[in-house]
Homo-oligomer: A and B are copies of this chain.
Amino acid sequence: MTGTTTVDATMNSFRILERLVASDEALGVTELAADVGLSKGVVHTHLNTLAELGYVTKRDRKYLASMGLLALGEDVRSHLGVFTAARRHVDNLARVTGEVSTLFVEEDGVGICVYMAHGSNDWTPEYACGTRIPLHVTAPGKAMLASLGRERVADILDERGLDAQTAETITDRNVLRGELRTIRENGISFCREEQSAGVIGVGTSIALTERAPAAAIGVCGPSSRLTGRYLEEDITGQVISTAKSIQVDLTR
């Protein structure tokens, strides 16, 4: 059925863990057992295991996800060359534009926001670091697609499709192909409410060495503020020069 086999106990542990992670209050064994469909006894054993591993904490007879989970993500991120090189530049991009600035990488044909820096403008997208977002709906995602080989893009589109996230999402392959060509020519990509209504983004890819995954940076914000020359000249210019700075650091 699943092709190859999996470890049931591990899946159960993660179901419990993910349930805790999604909750903003401590949960009891009985409630968790009902949620994941296991007996109270086993759930308790799993919780005990996760607690011993440091990923779950017990606060007066109830369990909650531990902040130790942050270390896992931070660790995997710190081993990503492009992140260590780009972080301060993305921070700076957020500082000079005042807008949310992001670093994305491609993984398994989807985009993952690896880092997000907030500018002085108090706004935040509805996705967070680690969220998987289809490549064709964001500016950095399209920039990464444009930087990939033609056959790789075809594979990704075959596997992932072009689902619509909003009314503006590009769902036609030929339209997308045309846009990728434009992106390659201009070295910049835009996302006009294709991922989320009311949100506009700008992005550009970061050329990487072999072996490394595709990567891109971006700036995004409410469409009410990101308009006209501010968007198409000021911000675009800052994004491009930031990408150049990152590349300089990367090839050192």
Residue contact B48 to A4, C-beta cutoff 8 Å: yes
Q: What B residues does A68 contact at CB under 8 A?
A: 107, 112, 130, 132
| Residue A9 lies at the interface, judged by CB distance under 8 Å to chain B | yes
* Cross-chain contact A9 with B10 (CB below 8 angstroms): yes
Contact status B74-A130, CB under 8 Å: yes
Q: Chain B: which residue is nearest A18 at the CB level? A: B72
**Which B residue sits closest to A16, measured CB to CB?**
B10
Q: Would you list 20 pairs from A and B whose C-beta atoms are within 8 A, ordered by A residue?
A: A6-B49, A6-B52, A7-B9, A10-B10, A10-B49, A10-B53, A17-B72, A18-B72, A57-B108, A65-B75, A67-B80, A67-B105, A70-B73, A70-B129, A71-B130, A71-B131, A74-B129, A75-B130, A95-B95, A95-B120
With A24-B79, A76-B21: A67-B114 Cβ-Cβ less than 8 Å = yes
List residues 49-81 of chain A with CB under 8 A from any CB of chain B.
49-50, 52-55, 57, 65-80
- Tell me how far the C-beta of A70 lies from the nearest C-beta in chain B, rounded to whole angstroms: 3
Shortest CB-to-CB span from A131 to chain B, Å, is: 6
Chain A residues engaging chain B, CB cutoff 8 angstroms:
2, 4-11, 13-14, 17-18, 21-24, 45-46, 48-50, 52-55, 57, 65-80, 87-88, 91, 95, 105, 107-108, 112, 114, 118, 120, 122, 128-132
- Smallest CB separation, A66 vs chain B (Å): 6
Contact assessment for A76 and B66 in the assembled complex, using a CB-CB cutoff below 8 Å: yes
- By a CB distance below 8 angstroms, the chain B residues around A52 are 2, 6, 11
- Closest B residue to A53 using CB positions: B14
Q: Please name the residue on chain B nearest to A50 by beta carbon.
A: B10
A5, closest chain B residue (CB): B45
Complexed CA–CA distance, A54 and B14 (Å): 11
Q: A112-B67, A114-B67 are in contact. Are A73 and B130 (CB under 8 A)?
A: yes
Query: Bound state CA distance, A80 and B77, in angstroms?
Result: 21
Docked Cα-Cα span, A88 to B52, in Å, equals 33
Q: Once bound together, how far apart are the Cα atoms of A120 and B92, in whole Å?
A: 8
Q: Which residues of B contact A131 (CB under 8 A)?
A: 71, 74
